[in-house]
Chain A
Amino acid sequence: MKPAAVKYARAGDVQEAVALLSEHGTDAKVLAGGQSLVPLMNFRLASPSILIDINRVNELAYVREDNGSLLIGAMTRQRDVETSPVVAAAVPLLPQALHHVGHVTNRNRGTVGGSVAHADPASELPALVTGLAGELTVEGPKGQRTIAAEDFFVGTFTTAMEYDEVLTAVRLPRLPAGTGVAVEELARRHGDFAIVAVMAAVHLAPDGSVDLVRLAASGVDSVPLRLHSAEAVLAGAQPTADAIAAAAATVAASVNPTGDVHAPASYRRDMAQLLVKRAVGAAIERIGVSA
């Protein structure tokens, strides 16, 4: 199958991209790395009328520390983020999560903003941004606005962005030094979309109690989830095996999976619970305290 006919326009900067989106309406699609969009077009699952190419918008390719948080330009290639020492120091969960995103070839081309804006509920970056309470900056004809991750993802492949807005940056709070992080996935093959994925970041106080915990899951709802109930069980507690099991036990009520050809809903629910246990355990192990 060949993709359907499409027009093409290259934006030189964000304002130009916004103007093109305003002009062409809802049938236009922003082309970032294209690692999701082009396959969808190849199989005619997507048939936009025009591609608005933002690959030359160099002002959106950067990684920097900004006021206690990590700021990533939407057009930064995933591989550049994965290998950045700035990222590894500020948010060590991010390179680990990226290691699970497709293969090196995909990450050489794929962008952080593209993956977030595509809003696939099974993919890693939307879950990470949600779990770490990140913020998304978008720009439209009326200017800039910032959206909290939990308000940004509103459904499968659907975000709170208007048709004429472009995602420009992803902001993630810096994790304190010594935070243990882990990504646990159930996937048929490495690099596939996970059937269920769980990400954990855990920091312990000097007395060994949990003073920061962030938990995210993908593949268990139409949007990526931050697992608030499980976090609440662990916050302030000693991270014993019992405490971790009690946290994991809350997960069944937090998730809302649907069954498909890969796995029934009940299996996803069970796996989410198991992966929370594993991810929290692995995160704690990496800070040198056994659970």
Chain B
Amino acid sequence: MEMTFTVNGTQAKVEIDPAETLLGVLRERLRLTGTKEGCNEGECGACTVLVDGLPVDSCIYSAAATGGRRVETVEGLTLDELGRDLQAAFVAAGGVQCGFCTPGFIATLVSVLRENEAPSEDDLRTALAGNICRCTGYSQILDAVAATVSRRNGR
């Protein structure tokens, strides 16, 4: 079946199989391989993207149900200033090691910081509960968010 949706601000018309997930369409049909496949069951958050502005696990999001919706992946999110600030802060704080989880963290965090310029640590922990990182131990990631928040609010 044919499906039309918006990806990173551009309309995409793709031929999909109804069994496919949004993650499969992004990676295999559109070659947007920044978004990763981890657990494939909505537990790890490596595949997090924004659909209509909200973070979701693209590995368990039916591609067929994505028609007409607005999808943002790490490729698009890091073209904006907020995404770029986060990306740079992750590097500076050591919030990236193997990097596999990073695109999902960036997607979740962009949505949090769009809503709230100065989230509490509790807000962040709740929002990030669905993003697993096996390298950093998370504290560097929280440091990166804190650096991003103070940098943006100091502007």
Binary B-proximity of A95-132 (CB < 8 A = 1, otherwise 0): 00000001111101100000000000000000000000
The reply on A43 being an interface residue by CB < 8 A is yes
The reply on B7 being an interface residue by CB < 8 A is no
Q: Are B64 and A8 in contact (CB under 8 A)?
A: yes
A98 shortest CB reach to chain B, Å: 12
Do A106 and B129 contact each other (CB < 8 Å), given the known contacts A5-B17, A8-B1, A35-B42?
no
Binary A-proximity of B1-41 (CB < 8 A = 1, otherwise 0): 10000000000000001111100100000000000000011
The reply on B57 being an interface residue by CB < 8 A is yes
Segment 82-122 of B: residues with Cβ below 8 Å from A: 108
Q: Are B65 and A31 in contact (CB under 8 A)?
A: yes
Q: Are A108 and B56 in contact (CB under 8 A)?
A: yes
Contact-residue size bin, chain A (C-beta under 8 Å from the other chain): 20 to 34
Query: For the complex, what is the distance from the CA of A192 to the CA of B45, rounded to whole Å?
Result: 14
What DSSP secondary structure best describes chain A's contact surface? mixed
A180 shortest CB reach to chain B, Å: 22
Binary B-proximity of A1-19 (CB < 8 A = 1, otherwise 0): 0111111101000000000
The reply on B146 being an interface residue by CB < 8 A is no
Contact-residue size bin, chain B (C-beta under 8 Å from the other chain): 20 to 34
A66 shortest CB reach to chain B, Å: 27
Query: For the complex, what is the distance from the CA of A283 to the CA of B41, rounded to whole Å?
Result: 33
Q: Find chain A residues with CB under 8 A from B17 CB.
A: 5
Q: Are A38 and B64 in contact (CB under 8 A)?
A: no
Q: Are B41 and A34 in contact (CB under 8 A)?
A: no
Segment 13-67 of A: residues with Cβ below 8 Å from B: 31, 34-35, 38-39, 41-43, 51, 53, 55
Q: Are B59 and A42 in contact (CB under 8 A)?
A: yes
Query: For the complex, what is the distance from the CA of A8 to the CA of B126, rounded to whole Å?
Result: 34
The reply on A190 being an interface residue by CB < 8 A is yes
Q: Of B18, B41, B62, which contacts A43 at CB under 8 A?
A: B41
Query: For the complex, what is the distance from the CA of A39 to the CA of B47, rounded to whole Å?
Result: 13
B114 shortest CB reach to chain A, Å: 14
Q: Are A42 and B41 in contact (CB under 8 A)?
A: yes
Q: Find chain B residues with CB under 8 A from A42 CB.
A: 21, 40-41, 59-60
A sample of 14 cross-chain residue pairs with beta-carbon separation below 8 angstroms, ordered by A number, consists of A3-B19, A3-B20, A3-B21, A4-B19, A34-B60, A38-B59, A38-B61, A41-B19, A42-B41, A42-B59, A51-B64, A53-B64, A104-B129, A105-B45
Q: A39-B41, A104-B108, A104-B126 are in contact. List 6 more A-B contacts (CB 8 A).
A: A34-B62, A35-B42, A42-B59, A51-B62, A105-B56, A106-B130
Write the residues of chain A forming the contact surface with B, with a CB cutoff of 8 angstroms. 2-8, 10, 31, 34-35, 38-39, 41-43, 51, 53, 55, 79, 102-106, 108-109, 190-191
- What 4 pairs between A and B have smallest CB-CB spacing? A103-B130, A8-B18, A39-B41, A38-B60
